Structure 1
Amino acid sequence: MMKLDSSISTPLYDQLKQKLREAIVHGEYKQGEKLPNEAELCDLYGVSRITVRKAIQELCDEGFLERKQGKGTFVMRKKVKREMVTVDGFTDFVRLLGKKPTKKILVCEEIKASQKLAESLQIEADAPVLRLLRLMYVDGQPFTIDETHYSLDRFPNLATHFLENVSTYDVLKNIYHVNIHAGSTHKVITVDPATSLEAEYLECKTGETLFNIDKIVYDENKVPIHTSHFKTPTAAIALTITT
């Protein structure tokens, strides 16, 4: 039995939801595969039917699962349409689509937090912050430029753990023991024309429309983990989520 931890603040349904989502992302439950029924999940995780139903419903709402009347609950197939702006990391997002994620680090440096950044991360102005700028690829094609900022007071020596194709969320979870709270983000989406440098990185035309996705990701205690700023061509998102 894979019992959940009732002693922590994260609700049991949220713990179950995270475990099932990880199992889907890492291929333990494959696209189109039927999940165990409610009774089996209750026995497996030591939870009630209400907990199972709530976790399943939220995963259905997020596009991971689908219910088929009289047949059960199944993992969504490739044509699942999930937003790039979800709380999940890039690696999990791309794996869910059955594609290969890779990354190239462009900048990894320590800076002082501006007033705006300090407010976003709930730290003091001029506090040390890691700025990480990466080019992200899907099946070898450039997909997005991702700029993130982390408090180095909270995550000391963070840069030493970042390799080009390591999931940052795996680093945060396994080394710093931080649980990213599903659905707990603040997001702002705008559009801008690509600069010549952005066009070079993303292999698109200068002036092509880019989605700018700004978000703050929080832990289970609603404390900011990091800020993120994505820049990606609108055509790239449409191609990625429908192929």
Structure 2
Amino acid sequence: MDPFTAQSLKGVLRRDLRAPLYHQLQAFLRGLIERGEIADGERLPREEELARCMGISRVTVRQALQPLADEGLLVRQRGRGTRVRGGRPGSGGHGIPMPLKVPLGELMHSLDILADHTRVRLLGWERAVPPAPVRAAFGSGADEALVRCVRVRYRHGHPFGYYASWTRTDHPDFDADNLARGSRIALFRRCGIGFSQVRQSVSAQRVGALPAMHLQMAPGQAVLTLERRAYGRDRQLLDLLEIQYRPDQLRYQMRLDHEPDLPETSA
């Protein structure tokens, strides 16, 4: 069945959602590619045709297509249109890479593993006064601004984790450009932000509409949620991070060794 008929496209874009239309179209196209509904090498309809069928502008279509090209899922050529790129690495039978395994007991090392095996896309950055629950966690005043950052990580072109953080720092290098390029852990080191204690908790939660869209999931599905609080030497909270992982993309593992009971000895 052709996924680009008027019947197939009906209801794909919803204007009652807070998510921008280009994000919704991007998620729709990525799903078609990952499920194999548009095959490697197949050409997409031209921009003007997509725009007409979906009742949006060509600018909106371009905003949806370009990130997919940046991730390597599409090839765009002037005058020749857009086609699905073949030969995506690390995929199983349904195009989803095997889960990345990281050790639960070695936090900083685990985060470096994730950074080395994934690529990041910055969704938002601002310096703003956080909401009351976040202010309470940081012990910050009503006028103290913190850095808010939202990012998505990808493995082999597949969305992997939705990262939302608040950070207490005035360092000029802790900006959108640097956060868009690499690991926050590496940026902490570069900015001289040191942690004396890190606490984390892992739980299963239901994913909200906006993270679900970026993770290619349905709202309400279960996600593996990690909350990480990092403290400075004065026990002051410096960084609050919440990550929502696709459960088919991450597996935490821990080794527990059991020592056999020793034989009793008499004095």
TM tier, smaller: 0.5 to 0.7
| Match of residue 172 from structure 1 | 188
Question: TM-score, normalising length from structure 1?
Answer: 0.54
Q: Aligned-pair distance for 1:156?
A: 4.7
Question: Is it true that 1:105 corresponds to 2:118 in the alignment?
Answer: no
Q: For residues 164 and 127 of structure 1, do their structure 2 counterparts lie closer, same or farther at Cα, with a shift above 3 Å needed?
A: same
Conserved 8 A contact 1:110-1:129: yes
Corresponding residue for residue 233 of structure 1: 246
Give 2:208's aligned residue.
Answer: 195
1:221 offset after TM fit, Å? 4.4
User: Offset of 1:103 from its aligned partner?
Assistant: 0.5
Task: Look up the match of 1:219.
Answer: 232
Are 2:160 and 1:147 equivalent residues in the alignment? no
SS in 2 for 1:113: coil
C-alpha displacement of 1:124: 2.0
Q: Distance in 2 between matches of 1:171 and 1:89?
A: 16
Q: 1:133 aligns with which of 114, 139, 150?
A: 150
1:216–1:226 contact (8 Å) kept in structure 2: yes
Separation in 1, partners of 2:226, 2:106 = 7
Find the structure with the greater CA-based Rg: 2
User: Residues 170 and 206 (structure 1 numbering): CA distance in 2 closer, same or farther, change over 3 Å?
Assistant: same
Deviations 1:169-214 (A, max 9, x none): 222212x212234xx2233333222334323211233332112222
Measured in 1, the distance between the counterparts of 2:244 and 2:105 equals: 11
- CA 1:186–1:125 in structure 2 vs 1: closer, same or farther (change >3 Å)? farther
Shift of 1:88: 5.0
- Contact 1:89–1:168 (CA under 8 A) maintained in structure 2: no
Distance 1:158 1:81 in 2: 26
Unmatched tracts of structure 2, length 5 or more = 1-99, 254-267
Percentage of pairs with the same residue: 12
Query: Within 1, Cα distance between the matches of 2:103 and 2:146?
Result: 30
**Unpaired stretches in structure 1, ≥5 consecutive residues:** 1-78
SS of corresponding position for 1:110: strand
The 2-side partners of 1:108 and 1:235 are apart by 28
Task: State whether structure 2 residue 220 is matched by structure 1 residue 207.
Answer: yes
Aligned residues of 1:112 and 1:126 also touching (Cα < 8 A)? yes
1:82 is displaced (CA, Å) by 1.1
What's the offset of the Cα at 1:111?
1.5
> Which residue in 2 is equivalent to 1:34?
none
1:83 to 104, 122, 142: 104
